[in-house]
Amino acid sequence: MKAPLFKLNWRDFGHGLVTSVLGAVTVGVYQMINEGKLPTSAADLKTIGISAAGAGVGYILKNIFSNSAGNFAQSESKAPAIIQVPKPEANADTTVQQTITSTIKP
């Protein structure tokens, strides 16, 4: 289950890590396409790292401000009340009929 509003769990950090890696790969591929070379210099790798960190931090911030249902910036909804209905007795029909009859009499 997802974490409640303003809380994180380990699964959120795992998803943030995946988002960071995918963000870094996307930036790296974009640089390769634009420049026609592999991003091997320190400046290229720094740009990829900053983009990956930004993607991960953005994901974590989104999860901090989301409730357990995944709704952004909304409070937790209250759980519906559980109503337990007692099992009917063997002669429940006659008991209900007697009760109705006794309340109708003047």
Q: Is the full-model pTM beyond 0.85?
A: no
Domain spans in the chain, listed from the N-terminal domain onward: 1-75
Taking alpha carbons only, the member of 61, 72, 66, 59 closest to residue 18 is 59
Q: Which two tokens stand for residue 45?
A: 């790798």
List pLDDT tens digits, range 17-49.
Answer: 888 888 888 888 888 888 888 878 888 888 888
What angle separates helix 42-64 from helix 10-35, to the nearest 10 degrees?
140
Mean model confidence pLDDT for the chain: 77
Model confidence at 6: pLDDT above 70: yes
| pLDDT category of residue 1 using cuts at 50, 70 and 90 | very low
* Contact assessment for residue 15 and residue 59, using Cβ atoms and an 8 Å cutoff: yes
